[in-house]
Amino acid sequence: MAEKILEIRNLTAGFLSDKGLAKATDRVHLELEKGKTLCVVGESGSGKSVTALSIMRLLDYAGGVIADGEVLFNGQNLVSKQQKEMLKIRGNQITMIFQDPMSALNPVFTVGEQIAETLRIHKNLPEKEAWRQSVDMLRKVKIPDPEIRAKQYPYEMSGGMCQRVVIAMALACNPELLIADEPTTALDVTVQAQILELLLQLKREFRMSMLLITHDMGVAAEVADRIAVMYAGAVVEEGTVAEIFERPRHPYTIGLLQSIPGLEGDRGGELYTIKGTIPKIDQIPTGCRFHPRCPYAMDICRQNEPPLRESNTGHKAACWLDDTGEDDPRPGKPNTRETKVTIMSRPEVAQS
């Protein structure tokens, strides 16, 4: 079996209020194999960033708490680590890049100084060598004239350039795992593609594993080995890119796919949108958390939460309509794929 660099088990994390814990993630389970890319997708508010911050043990600093579960990084549970120990892991073995490059950079130091500082702290390099490697990193992220650029301040650079600097800083210490939380969302569309391409190339070059958070299914299709779909704090589907795109099982995933311009849902220029809005974390509905927005909701969906069931190929989905039949034609069990596809493509039948 392939080695796992990251395994999140039953992660429940959230924010305390007068009414108790509002769960931003509810028993989340995710796995990432060494050298692979896992994309976590889902609408705004689905708990993607809380998951990432929990892995990094930065959630405390954002006012949240990890209430339960484990985050196994190379087999060691990060949840039980002291913050002092996490300081050695963060920035060294695991690094994270965020949506807004400007917030990650210090405006009063040159970009070269900032990368060199990371190298001095984590690799204990002398000043001159840290500067040399800092310029080298700027070259690796394809910043032209790196010797000159290293002496510039963040405000002298474009958003795309700044994100390249942030990537250089994140990779300077050769981390095993890179967590990228919407790394291209704040950038222009053309720059987005370049940054993604760069990330992929560097991931191969540095032999890293990557957890990429995005709300863009198109990005996930291009970059991921596996995709986990989160909705209102829970993983509702997980599988390979082919499984998610060609054999989606959860109505929420199907809705997300139909919302991509140019795919099935793009009927004559009118883009499909999933009706309704994601619930607030202190108002998660009973039963299936997606049922109020699901065109196929049945009685059982309103009452009982569907378990995340796994097929024999490892494709997981949490939906009462789904019986894992399509990948798993178990003896004596009818393959319900035909039925489901019919239901999925004719919501008016299910609603009546």
Q: Of ligand ATP, Mg ion, none, which one does residue 15 interact with (CB within 5 to 8 Å by kind)?
A: ligand ATP
Q: Are strands 316-317 and 226-231 parallel, antiparallel or unpaired?
A: unpaired
Q: Shortest CA distance to 204 belongs to which of 6, 37, 40, 5?
A: 37
User: Within 71-100, which residues bind ligand ATP (CB under 6 A)?
Assistant: none
DSSP-based three-state secondary structure for 73: strand
Which range of residues in 46-54, 81-89, 133-141, 154-162 is near ligand ATP by CB under 6 A? 46-54
Which of 11, 42, 89, 165 forms a contact with ligand ATP (CB under 6 A)?
42
Q: In whole angstroms, give the CA distance from residue 288 to residue 301.
A: 5
Span of 44-52, 87-95, 101-109, 121-129 interacting with ligand ATP by CB under 6 A: 44-52
Output the DSSP codes for 290-328: TGGG-TT--HHHHHSPPP-EE-TTS-EE--TT--STTT-
Per CB under 6 A, the segment of 42-50, 130-138, 196-204, 255-263 that binds ligand ATP is: 42-50
Query: What, of ligand ATP, Mg ion, none, does residue 217 touch, CB below 5 to 8 Å by kind?
Result: none
Residue type for 321, please? Answer: L
Looking at 45-53, 109-117, 196-204, 297-305, which segment touches ligand ATP (CB under 6 A)? Answer: 45-53
CA atoms of 13 and 55, how far apart (whole Å): 11
Residue from 5, 38, 50, 180 binding ligand ATP (CB under 6 A):
50
Query: What are the distances in angstroms from CA 136 to CA 101, 106, 180?
Result: 20, 20, 22
Report 308-347 residues binding ligand ATP (CB under 6 A): none
> Applying CB under 6 A, does 27 fall inside the site for ligand ATP?
no
324 contacts which partner out of Mg ion, ligand ATP, none, CB within 5 to 8 A by kind? Answer: none
Among 49, 95, 253, 258, binds ligand ATP (CB under 6 A): 49
**Which of 16, 62, 271, 341 is in the footprint of ligand ATP by CB under 6 A?**
62
Element housing 226 (H / E): strand 226-231
Distances from the Cα of 40 to the Cα of 49, 266, 272, angstroms: 10, 23, 21
- Residue 46 touches which member of Mg ion, ligand ATP, none, C-beta under 5-8 Å by kind: ligand ATP
Beta bridge partners of 238: 228, 316
Binding mask 182-221 for Mg ion (x = CB under 5 A): ----------------------------------------
Output the CA angle 287-322-315, nearest 5 degrees. 105
49 touches Mg ion (CB under 5 A) = yes
Q: Is 286 in the site for ligand ATP (CB under 6 A)?
A: no
The alpha carbon torsion through 39, 43, 48, 49 (nearest 10 deg) reads 120
Q: Enumerate binding residues for ligand ATP (CB under 6 A).
A: 15, 24, 42, 44-50, 62-63, 215, 280-281
